[in-house]
Amino acid sequence: MATLPHALSIRNHDRDSAGLRYVYPVVSRRAGGVSIGINLNPNNACNWACIYCQVPNLTRGGPPPLDLALLERELNRMLDDIQHGDFMASQVPADARRLMDIAFSGNGEPTSAPEFTEAVALVVRVMRERGLGDLKLRVITNGSLVGRRYVRDGLKRVAEAGGEVWFKVDAVEPARILELNGVHQAAGAALNRLKLCASIVPTWVQTCMVMLDGAPPSEAEVGAYLDFLLELRGEIRGVLLYGLARQSMQPGAGRLEALPADWLAGMSKRIEALGVSVQVSV
């Protein structure tokens, strides 16, 4: 594999850094080291349009047909460089030189690929063939398609491999969801989808909180979010709470600012007070 032009960091998640179509490495704040990303949406198409998204030229829609053979070759190539090459020493900061997971994420909603189940099965097989059966497999998703049979089948395979889901919930009130995620979503829809997801596979709620137009989330919005978590207590593994770390590439980027670290710390304490585990990434 060619040497990457820049060392990876939590602020550089360039999906094209390795010159591959489906596979890319990142240093992940939440994973705590190197994450191998699986990008099933190389056309930069997603069914959501989050205001903080770092994908350039984001469009609405789904992915092109998936070339499973190419995905397998690229994944093996990346793992060869990580396991047996100089990737870690040459491209990763010293304090992050550990392979933490393989994550379906990328430039759009990964479960929108009709071949999602087959892709999961392929990754699980490669992991086992390479002696990485204990490596964590993750799916980072907005959860909007969990009602589809093929998505649930894929999530069952993730669960069988000891993996988990990170389920995006940035807000629960419809107006705030529209502002942050660019979708119309009825009140309660995310709760029902999350409960279904958590019944299939271990699931974390993943929440990005931001300053919008110079203001943090209102107390009403925070209260609605905490009530939402309270209904899920005992069904989810916990919450992955994080703020902005990279520049948005979306038209509304100028409306965004990072929340102060002490605000996120205070939010974390309120979540913990519900009896829900929380991990914070500033």
CATH number of 103's domain: 3.20.20.70
Residue 16 included in any domain: no
HSE (side-chain half, CA atoms, 13 Å) at 178: 7
> Would you say 115 and 148 are in contact if contact means Cβ atoms under 8 Å apart?
no
Strand 59-60, strand 99-104: pairing: unpaired
Residue 269 included in any domain: no
What predicted TM-score, i.e. pTM, was given to this entire model?
Answer: 0.92
Query: What stretch of H or E contains 99?
Result: strand 99-104
- Rounded to whole angstroms, the Cα distance separating 28 from 103 reads 11
Give the range of the structural domain holding residue 99, as residue numbers without chain letter.
23-203
- Alpha-carbon Rg for the chain in angstroms: 18
Residue 237 included in any domain: no
3-state class percentages of the chain: helix first, strand second, coil last, to nearest 5: 35, 20, 45
What's the domain count of the chain?
1
- Residue 259: Cβ within 10 Å count: 19
> Would you say 8 and 26 are in contact if contact means Cβ atoms under 8 Å apart?
yes
**What is the model's pLDDT at position 16?**
53
**What is the model's pLDDT at position 31?**
72
Beta bridge partners of 136: 101
Residue 120 included in any domain: yes
3-class secondary structure, 151: helix
Residue 36 included in any domain: yes
Question: Which of 33, 4, 38, 166 minimizes the C-alpha distance to 107?
Answer: 38
**What is the model's pLDDT at position 282?**
77
Residue 160 included in any domain: yes
Q: Show the tokens assigned to 144.
A: 């909007």
- Residue 196: Cβ within 10 Å count: 15
Residue 154 included in any domain: yes
Mean pLDDT by 10 residues, the chain (282 residues): 48 60 89 91 97 96 98 97 93 91 96 98 98 95 98 98 98 96 95 98 98 97 98 97 92 96 98 97 82
Query: What stretch of H or E contains 38?
Result: strand 33-38
Residue 247 included in any domain: no
